[in-house]
Structure 1
Amino acid sequence: MEGVLKGFFVVGMVLLAGYLLARYNVLGQQGTKVLSALSFTVGLPSLMFSMIVTRHITEVLSATGLISIVTAIACMAIFAAVGALRRWGTRRTVIGALTTGIVNSTNLGVPLSAYVLGSATYVTPIMLFQLALLTPVALTILDLADPKGHKLSVLKVLSTPFRNPVTVAAMLGILLSALDVKVPELVLAPVSLAAQMTVPLMLIIFGMSLHGLTLRGGTGEAAPTAVAVVLKSAVHPALAWALAAFVFHLDAFSTFVVTACAILPTGQNVVLYSIRYGVGQALAQSTAVITTVLSVPLLLGAALLFG
């Protein structure tokens, strides 16, 4: 239990730093946009490549990894169905779906996994799935969903993944990992160094985005936010627990690992994507804030239940 609180304290201090930067306008009006661009074009691609290329992609196929994938896809599919029925728009629905499926596996999952579960490797399958598979597909859809309604050429459709630094880094990492190519240390070292800025940078961006944010329904995002929060904080962990206990028949500790990973709140990279693409920012920010707050008692409850 002490480990859970410690993880939240570490993350909270960096979030607070970001909030104070925005509160006192230290980086100016364009600060969030500049940092988001830096993270999106340099930090995230570096993180994705360095993490994927140093691990075998089959790690995603473990039982815990498979459960994480199935539950994430299920929650995103439910949100997408609701979004389609309510006509929330393609890009807005994609951002909302990501808030239910992408967990904070890096910024919060790594420290909590290390402190509570004893090893940071428990979140590796989730990180690989989110970075190598889920994120590239989602960003491709965001790129293809032209808000002006112009007809897209076949060439533009086919080239979309290759014009996005995040998807390019993921695909290159997967290719080299699948071919078992050993990347020279001289090449990997600077990439890994650049990747190290991503976690604190994304936390700072998220903290800055909280300044001036209201969680009232006046933004027009009350309904999608409510759906996203219920799916992320209730349905997601409940599905993970049910699959682990009754379908895969995992032991108590493994069931706790799967459930705890599902309880992790919405990842800050979803906020980054919403800022980058200029859509669903209030939805992403509000869901991330609410699920982060809810994850504290939920994680403590899971620790007591399985402890």
Structure 2
Amino acid sequence: MVETVSFVFGLVAFGYLAGWIGLLKPQVGDALTDFAISVAVPLLLFRTMAGAGFDGHVPWHLWIAYFSAIAVAWIAGQLIITRVFGRDARAGVVAGLSTSFSNLVLLGIPFMLGVYGQSGFEILSLIISIHLPIMMGMSILLFALVGRSGNGGFLQLAREFVVNLFSSPLIIGILAGLAWRFSGLEMPALGTRFVDALANIAGPTALFAMGLGLRKFGISGDIRPALVIAGLKLFLMPAVALAMAKMLGLPLLSAQVVVAAASLPSGVNPYLIANRFGTGQALASNSMTIGTLFAVVTTAFWLSAVHWVYP
């Protein structure tokens, strides 16, 4: 397990190193990220949704365990930034999002495949299928409630959210895979080869691209709030996820996936949302970079903690 965790984060470090020494330009990282998110990962999700042996029931306990951890982490991050650091309510929303938004795609997918195999990835796919819509929707709602700069109101934001959601390659990949599965059609051999060829490189490409992206973002400005947010992300959220998984009686593999997903650092999405609303960009960027630096140790700790709780 330690070797696999080291390998996954090592690919991220390799991407960062390639950018740091000037071997690859930052634009390469953007292109690789676009390829991973727009082509390779959607095809991986399509293949999983089309062929996974889900047992047909709605995974309420899985979702409750994970999203309870999100709720606790979000509230804690938002309150600390506004009450302790004295930032405004809009910066508090960014902090809450950064504390609770795990990097489930670029980091989570290859991580689960490497540590828990296809079965673990299938469980993660159930979380991913509703994760992005819920987190984006909550961000839009909270920004509308606390006020926002610029033109347009909540209805305009809601329309943008719906359009962006259903034009997202990740969502399209999930829905297309489910549609194919329910159709009962068999994938042609040539189609399978095309899908496999691109889906199989999704993990390494995503990890390497993430490392290049971290080199571009870096750490700037006041890092104290970012350190607190990263700490909450790496410790509070997985602790709540583990407690909820045990209380709800999740099977061992489901508990492992929930806790591992909760222990992952924040990704680029909070920064993009902060940039969209014009506040908290440095906080989101710093907490993402700091969290990723320490996650190689803290994630391994939480994977071991699951086995302590599930003897």
TM-score (norm 1): 0.74
Q: In the alignment, what sits opposite 2:71?
A: 77
> Alignment length, in residue pairs?
286
Q: Using the alignment, how far apart are the partners of 1:300 and 1:108 within structure 2?
A: 15
Q: In the alignment, what sits opposite 1:172?
A: 176
Give, as a single letter, the amino acid of the residue that structure 1 aligns with 2:122: T
Structure 2 SS opposite 1:281:
helix
Question: Which deviations, in whole Å up to 9, do the C-alpha atoms of 1:223-269 show, x marking residues without a partner?
Answer: 3223222323322222222322xxx6xxxxx44x3443334255879
Q: Using the alignment, how far apart are the partners of 2:290 and 2:120 within structure 1?
A: 27
Q: In the alignment, what sits opposite 1:241?
A: 246
The aligned runs of 1:151-300 (5 Å cut-off) are: 151=152, 152-153=155-156, 156-211=160-215, 213=218, 218=223, 220-244=225-249, 254-255=251-252, 257-264=253-260, 271-274=267-270, 280-300=284-304
- The answer to whether structure 1 residue 18 and structure 2 residue 21 are counterparts is no
Question: Which deviations, in whole Å up to 9, do the C-alpha atoms of 1:254-305 show, x marking residues without a partner?
Answer: 44x3443334255879525356655523223333443331122343354466
Contact 2:223 2:286 in 1 (8 A): no
Contact 1:18 1:203 in 2 (8 A): yes
Question: Relative to structure 1, is the Cα distance of residues 143 and 216 closer, same or farther in structure 2, using a 3 angstrom cutoff?
Answer: closer
Contact 1:73 1:101 in 2 (8 A): no
Q: Percent identity?
A: 13
Contact 2:98 2:229 in 1 (8 A): no
Kindly state the Cα deviation for residue 135 of structure 1 after the two structures are TM-superposed: 2.6
Contact 1:202 1:269 in 2 (8 A): no
Bigger drift between 166-175 and 99-108 goes to 99-108
Please list every run of 5 or more consecutive structure 2 residues that lacks an aligned counterpart in the other structure.
Answer: 83-88, 276-280
Contact 1:79 1:228 in 2 (8 A): yes
Contact 1:100 1:229 in 2 (8 A): no
Contact 1:50 1:173 in 2 (8 A): yes
Please list every run of 5 or more consecutive structure 1 residues that lacks an aligned counterpart in the other structure.
Answer: 115-119, 249-253
Bigger drift between 102-111 and 39-48 goes to 102-111
Question: Relative to structure 1, is the Cα distance of residues 48 and 95 closer, same or farther in structure 2, using a 3 angstrom cutoff?
Answer: farther
Structure 2 SS opposite 1:26:
coil
Aligned residues: CA RMSD: 3.7
Structure 2 SS opposite 1:150:
coil
The aligned runs of 1:46-65 (5 Å cut-off) are: 46-56=43-53, 58=55, 61=58
Question: Which deviations, in whole Å up to 9, do the C-alpha atoms of 1:95-115 show, x marking residues without a partner?
Answer: 43222988955222222225x
Question: Relative to structure 1, is the Cα distance of residues 161 and 295 closer, same or farther in structure 2, using a 3 angstrom cutoff?
Answer: closer
TM-score (norm 2): 0.73
Of the three residues 26, 36, 40, the one matched with 2:37 is: 40
Q: Using the alignment, how far apart are the partners of 2:208 and 2:106 within structure 1?
A: 17
Structure 2 SS opposite 1:199:
helix
Kindly state the Cα deviation for residue 68 of structure 1 after the two structures are TM-superposed: 3.1
Kindly state the Cα deviation for residue 74 of structure 1 after the two structures are TM-superposed: 0.3
